[in-house]
Amino acid sequence: MADFASLRRLRLLSLPAGTAVLGLRARLARLTGEDPDALRTALRQRNAERTRRILGDLKGGALKAGQLLSTVDALLPQDPEATWSEALTDLREVGAPVPFQELIPVLRAEIGHDWQRRLPGLEREAAAAASIGQVHRARWHDGRDVAVKIQYPGVAQALREDVQAVAVMSRLASVVAPSLALPPLVAELRQRLAEELDYAREARVQRRFAEAYADDEHVVVPRVVHATPRVLVTEWLGGTPIAELGRAPDPAARDAAGRAYQRFLVSGPERAGWLHTDPHPGNFRILDRGVLGVMDFGSALELPGGMPETFGRLLAALSVDDREQVLPRLREIGYVRPDADLDVDKLLAYMRPFTEPARHEEFTFTAPWLRQQFGKVNDPRNPEFSVALQLRVPPEHLFTHRVWLGLVGVLCQLEATVPVRPVLRRWLPGFAEDGPFAEDGPFAEDGPAAGAAAEGVPSATAPTAEVPHDR
């Protein structure tokens, strides 16, 4: 076990070390008169491919980190060939698969020694390889086309090692910024990742979503056929990966996909009692007539009362410049210590990237906007950066924030224009309970246009906030 953990850590450490070596190679090459543009392109391609290969091979938490990065590719190093974007997009669709022979013991243990009879035509080549398992197409014994998700042998240990590494880093970070309260967040992460390893639990969640959206003309959830703790068989779902629409020339198709994607993620807690907490594009397909197909319910948070009201109140408090109400609200919901004295103006400026869309009836999400906003957030030289070190994220909001970040990232990839405030008012408790977004507040929506927009139908009279770009 120790050798296994050491090997994983060494491979992860090779990423920054390899980047440094490539940087040195670039500086030496300039002295020899090599073409700098060609050199930069070649080194960028090597670095991106090496990152994709290592994260894909390691699986577990390392691959999950790469998939999360892929949802916000606007923040990756800039390059005209989209090298980084394409490399990490591969992680969403087809990571490095495990040889099928290594999965046979799992099939025997979970399905039985007659697994070949129950799964005739099981394709040996993986249709998709994810962080903790890979998918193979097959036919169920009754003739249905099915997707068979098989968990990697040893992946549970890999996840434990990755979380342990995160725990060590979080303790070091807490020495620098005690208010970050990272250990509770790591504990929440550990629990959620352990749940992802249980495919029987995932089957229960997927059945609930399939039932909740059975009559929804905009969303399809494949039905579960069979489930064990390490093998999950569901109806096969085809379609086009939603990420591919980011390169589509038709803005109407991108907008429609963005509306369906947004609506599904925020409506799940109220409709199904669960939040789908893995928003990366590999889990979403566009089917005929623009219907959204949803897969992979392993990462899901049970929220029988709907989305947390405190999250809605957080967005509402930060979405307008109401200086008198910001700190009291943040203290009330646990984001700021009672004795903390923050500069409200800096806080509002720092949080603007997360809350700017919620100020608008409609918003056009773009990669340039995301890059600009998060450049400010992640720059320690920015005067507002110190505010982040004083904020406390409640552990129960860890995956809510993950969904919000992923949602914003994918909408920026699609460059989609979608309704925002109406959707939040409809599906996010606390956002419109009182204050400026209440029914009688200054930012309240009026009449049937608001209701239409809340269901993803554009309003003809809605003001749009847009970052100019070529669609």
Kindly report, residue by residue over 55-78, the tens digit of the pLDDT. Answer: 555 444 444 544 444 444 444 444
Q: Which of 283, 302, 321 is the last residue of a domain?
A: 302
Comparing 51-60, 219-228, 269-278, the range with the smallest average pLDDT is 51-60
What's the chain look like in SS3?
CHHHHHHHHHHHHHHHHHHHHHHHHHHHHHHCCCCHHHHHHHHHHHHHHHHHHHHHHHCHHHHHHHHHHHCCHHHCCCCCCCHHHHHHHHHHHECCCCCHHHHHHHHHHHCCCCHHHHCCCCCCCCCEECCCEEEEEEECCCCCEEEEEEECCCHHHHHHHHHHHHHHHHHHHHHHCHHHCHHHHHHHHHHHHHHHCCHHHHHHHHHHHHHHCCCCCCEECCCEEEECCCEEEEECCCCEEHHHHHHCCCHHHHHHHHHHHHHHHHHHHHHHCEEECCCCHHHEEECHHHCEEECCCCCEEECCCCCCHHHHHHHHHHCCCCHHHHHHHHHHCCCCCCCCCCCHHHHHHHHHHHHHHHHCCEEECCHHHHHHHHHHHCCCCCCCHHHHCCCCCCHHHHHHHHHHHHHHHHHHHHCCEEECHHHHHHHCCCCCCCHHHCCCCCCCCCHHHHHHHHCCCCCCCCCEECCCCCC
Q: Is pLDDT above 50 for 441? A: no
Residues 71 and 185 in one domain: no
Q: Is pLDDT above 70 for 461? A: no
Residues 70 and 177 in one domain: no
* Confidence at residue 400, expressed as pLDDT on a 0 to 100 scale: 84
Q: In this structure, is residue 471 part of a structural domain?
A: no
Q: Which of 269, 302, 335 is the last residue of a domain?
A: 302
Q: In this structure, is residue 318 part of a structural domain?
A: yes
- Higher-scoring residue by pLDDT: 16, 391: 391
Kindly report, residue by residue over 118-176, the tens digit of the pLDDT.
Answer: 998 899 999 988 778 899 999 998 999 999 999 998 887 777 666 665 555 455 444 44
Residues 268 and 357 in one domain: no
Residues 332 and 320 in one domain: yes
* Confidence at residue 42, expressed as pLDDT on a 0 to 100 scale: 61
Q: In this structure, is residue 470 part of a structural domain?
A: no
Residues 135 and 270 in one domain: yes
- Higher-scoring residue by pLDDT: 310, 201: 201
Q: How confident is the model at residue 379 (pLDDT cuts 50, 70, 90)?
A: low
- Per-residue pLDDT averaged across 176-188, rounded? 53
* Confidence at residue 3, expressed as pLDDT on a 0 to 100 scale: 45
Q: In this structure, is residue 243 part of a structural domain?
A: yes
Residues 257 and 147 in one domain: yes
Residues 355 and 382 in one domain: yes
Residues 169 and 216 in one domain: no
Q: In this structure, is residue 145 part of a structural domain?
A: yes
* Confidence at residue 40, expressed as pLDDT on a 0 to 100 scale: 58
Name the domain count of the chain. 4
Q: Is pLDDT above 80 for 285? A: yes
* Confidence at residue 466, expressed as pLDDT on a 0 to 100 scale: 36
Range of the domain at 276: 100-153+198-302
Q: Is pLDDT above 50 for 439? A: no
Q: In this structure, is residue 166 part of a structural domain?
A: yes
Residues 142 and 161 in one domain: no
Residues 190 and 202 in one domain: no
| Stated pTM of the model | 0.72
Residues 242 and 318 in one domain: no
Q: In this structure, is residue 289 part of a structural domain?
A: yes
Q: Is pLDDT above 90 for 291? A: yes
Residues 297 and 203 in one domain: yes
